[in-house]
Structure 1
């Protein structure tokens, strides 16, 4: 967005001169600064100039119940007045944290009855990965600490979680990453599978790769496998049919903990409280969550784990779990989560997300016929459009084409926010989305793609 004509003390200028944003792209930021958002209501945002946008990104995969809910604001205010903060370490708790832990145990699948509260998704995953080592050490297997993840995965931005994740574009030479004890398997992207393979053969190959890694490294050195049920920031990757369950079965055979990273997929994104068991038939040992837990109203994450893990760690009563955060179990954040879950239950938003999500899939599918579009994929309320230079070979445009950002810029000018990631335009709208709003997204995005396609052709980019 072009810089407005502002005075030095205006919000745009303050931000431009003083803020370092997550994933700042320094060149464009120095030239253009930021889009200043002033308010939000439902699925909509307004900038400081008064322009309205339908937020098809859902904030950052998180504004599930929509913005501007007065009962959420009231619940937060009431709790802040009653108890704004309380120490949650060692042997102290508070009402909202205790009630939320019990509620999450009720909603989570199987025996996942224990909860560790964090400040967000990164810290939930960070704790889960370290708990793998703690659990196996407590069982007398101190070398069983390794973690297996996938290529093009995203699991957070702490030192440890960014090392475990390996999304294209996240690894930069200016940072260092942990490499020992972390292994990455092939991304289970059916669209990018080898041309000679069926999807079923691709799935067989992926599972065999995991088995081969275990044989090479040794099951006594691998403690955990981590997977997003649907890889979100890595490109809305829905794995081949049966893949996740088969990978879970491999974990079961080799005593490897299965961590389901549901920071995005939990709390309704694809129509379930949690996707692992309900959608993919997998009973994880640990689930990590955040985002939709409070619908973005306040920061909060939760690592939910099994009674079996608790029993092993607690055996003998002599160990300390020396990990925690000042804001773990924050009473105001937990009160927000409880009210958020109450709204999702009362308004039937899981069923609504499944219904409107199916309509969303149907309305977006025809975009695959556009010359610039190679693939439209996703499930329910997490979808993306992948741009290609050649639909047959699936070759990508050169990075300088910057087509996904250009598409999002054109859509923004027409009142629609979508998220450009690499060669993708990603969408994760609130669960309260309506069918007319779906129509607006599909129609506006089509116009934006067509306009950018024409511009690329005029500039000499070849589209096959």
Structure 2
């Protein structure tokens, strides 16, 4: 078996959703080919959006070849690609261009770590706050900021986790989501004010990607930014999952009235899926304050910092993204995809709603009887059936209760129609299978071995 081959080669693979049963051989555009499966699979996940324009985009392949013939790594020397990329990012960001600078490095978690480090140095405060159900990474320093529903290593945490409510567009647990007097705002300001003497920054996912692409209530993020300004807390935007055009805007905060945040961490797709590249954009005053102490020199260090090869690929990514009509088509085609999902599942017993913005799309699951059939069970069966029907899906959320879609930004309506038909078939077959299994389960929702929930249906 392929999984046994992985074990012999000492490869650690993710078996949580049985993706390890599939051995990827090649990919192009929206399609992936796996060993032993002659027919391609439609990829609606795209490495959580890290592959922005489909697999092996011809222009990015050519850029990779071109840059590889010029330079590999260049640390610690500045380079032309680095400067041009910084200028391009600043020119399209929702901020006062002359007031900011750009630091370019590898890995989303690494750069969010760097944002925390800068915040702590410049404010002299140590605490970091984040939203409920936030995901900012799994490194040690990010554990307090990432919700325990994703990474629970509480025994390793050296500081308290400060959480404020994320006011969701479709619902608000404490009041009207469109109201300036929303209970979430009052709660957030009370928590931030109570901790302001020790609170360096609030980490903000404009749309909560790992929670299932959850959208914020209208006006909420701008109101939270104002609260941070009142209490001298830095407002740090983590755009790793939903930026770089995925909402139809280059930066997702452009949809929510947020301008001039203190720090922005850009989207992980900046390297086109070929190179791990993320940029940190921060106020010059922050960089200057940190640079005054020569002992902070290592803050701006790293063997792959401002890598010329990666920056060259990123420049091609921006050229593709900012070409005429690309962002407009993301918004229009995203609306078309979302409307198709809403029409398919407007009255479905297992899917309560489809929602999204551009190509940031989610489907929230519901169960007719949580005791017998959890939403996580439903998600696992849908994903397994998706692989059987040659479409790659993914579940996220605090309990894995949402299906998260992050398709290629260049996916056209012909492929969207194929995706809709595949998803329709997947959900129909999974629903039938779940119904049969739940009917055969004994009272109380327990299997014969005493466990609750469905066993994972193996792949064919």
TM-score (norm 1): 0.86
User: Does residue 1:127 correspond to 2:114, yes or no?
Assistant: yes
Q: Distance in 2 between matches of 1:119 and 1:359?
A: 34
**Which of 303, 307, 310 is matched with 1:333 structurally?**
310
User: Does residue 1:425 correspond to 2:403, yes or no?
Assistant: yes
User: Does residue 1:234 correspond to 2:211, yes or no?
Assistant: yes
User: Does residue 1:162 correspond to 2:139, yes or no?
Assistant: no
- State the Cα distance separating 1:353 from its structure 2 match: 0.7
- State the Cα distance separating 1:216 from its structure 2 match: 2.5
Q: Distance in 1 between matches of 2:331 and 2:45?
A: 17
- State the Cα distance separating 1:78 from its structure 2 match: 2.2
Q: Map Cα deviations across residues 82-133 of structure 1 (whole Å, 9 max, x no partner).
A: 2111113xxx212222221222222222135311122121111111011101
Q: Map Cα deviations across residues 51-93 of structure 1 (whole Å, 9 max, x no partner).
A: 20111112222221222223322222222222111113xxx21
The DSSP-based 3-state class of the residue aligned with 1:168 is coil
User: Does residue 1:19 correspond to 2:14, yes or no?
Assistant: no
Equivalent pair of 1:401/1:456 in contact (CA under 8 Å) = no
Q: Distance in 2 between matches of 1:115 and 1:356?
A: 32
For 1:70, the equivalent position in structure 2 comes to: 58
For 1:270, the equivalent position in structure 2 comes to: 247
For 1:414, the equivalent position in structure 2 comes to: 389
**Which of 9, 14, 38 is matched with 2:25 structurally?**
38
For 2:133, the equivalent position in structure 1 comes to: 152
Equivalent pair of 1:229/1:280 in contact (CA under 8 Å) = no
**How many residues are matched?**
432
Q: Distance in 2 between matches of 1:122 and 1:96?
A: 23
The DSSP-based 3-state class of the residue aligned with 1:460 is helix
For 2:268, the equivalent position in structure 1 comes to: 291
- State the Cα distance separating 1:429 from its structure 2 match: 0.2
Q: Distance in 2 between matches of 1:292 and 1:368?
A: 32
Equivalent pair of 1:193/1:202 in contact (CA under 8 Å) = no
Equivalent pair of 1:120/1:302 in contact (CA under 8 Å) = no
- State the Cα distance separating 1:325 from its structure 2 match: 2.5
Equivalent pair of 1:387/1:396 in contact (CA under 8 Å) = no
Range with bigger deviation, 364-373 or 164-173: 164-173
For 2:298, the equivalent position in structure 1 comes to: 322
User: Does residue 1:377 correspond to 2:355, yes or no?
Assistant: yes
Equivalent pair of 1:16/1:34 in contact (CA under 8 Å) = no
Range with bigger deviation, 432-441 or 122-131: 432-441
Equivalent pair of 1:154/1:162 in contact (CA under 8 Å) = no
Cα-Cα RMSD: 2.6
1:13 to 1:348, Cα distance in 2 relative to 1, 3 A: farther
Q: Distance in 2 between matches of 1:345 and 1:146?
A: 37
Range with bigger deviation, 241-250 or 100-109: 100-109
**Which of 408, 431, 455 is matched with 2:433 structurally?**
455
**Which of 86, 92, 95 is matched with 1:110 structurally?**
95
1:20 to 1:41, Cα distance in 2 relative to 1, 3 A: same
Equivalent pair of 1:57/1:428 in contact (CA under 8 Å) = yes
TM-score (norm 2): 0.87
1:215 to 1:163, Cα distance in 2 relative to 1, 3 A: closer
Equivalent pair of 1:225/1:258 in contact (CA under 8 Å) = yes
Equivalent pair of 2:96/2:260 in contact (CA under 8 Å) = no
- State the Cα distance separating 1:364 from its structure 2 match: 1.3
The DSSP-based 3-state class of the residue aligned with 2:212 is coil
1:361 to 1:275, Cα distance in 2 relative to 1, 3 A: same
User: Does residue 1:313 correspond to 2:304, yes or no?
Assistant: no
Equivalent pair of 1:203/1:240 in contact (CA under 8 Å) = no
The DSSP-based 3-state class of the residue aligned with 2:143 is helix
- Aligned runs of 1:353-364 on 2, under 5 Å? 353-364=330-341
Q: Distance in 1 between matches of 2:148 and 2:92?
A: 30
The DSSP-based 3-state class of the residue aligned with 1:200 is coil
Any unmatched runs of 5+ in structure 2?
Answer: 446-460
Q: Map Cα deviations across residues 165-210 of structure 1 (whole Å, 9 max, x no partner).
A: 115242256x623433x4011233344643x843335971111111
Q: Distance in 1 between matches of 2:68 and 2:162?
A: 44
- State the Cα distance separating 1:319 from its structure 2 match: 5.8
1:256 to 1:347, Cα distance in 2 relative to 1, 3 A: same
- State the Cα distance separating 1:156 from its structure 2 match: 1.1
1:338 to 1:151, Cα distance in 2 relative to 1, 3 A: same
User: Does residue 1:179 correspond to 2:159, yes or no?
Assistant: yes
User: Does residue 1:96 correspond to 2:75, yes or no?
Assistant: no
Range with bigger deviation, 354-363 or 182-191: 182-191
Q: Distance in 2 between matches of 1:460 and 1:13?
A: 32
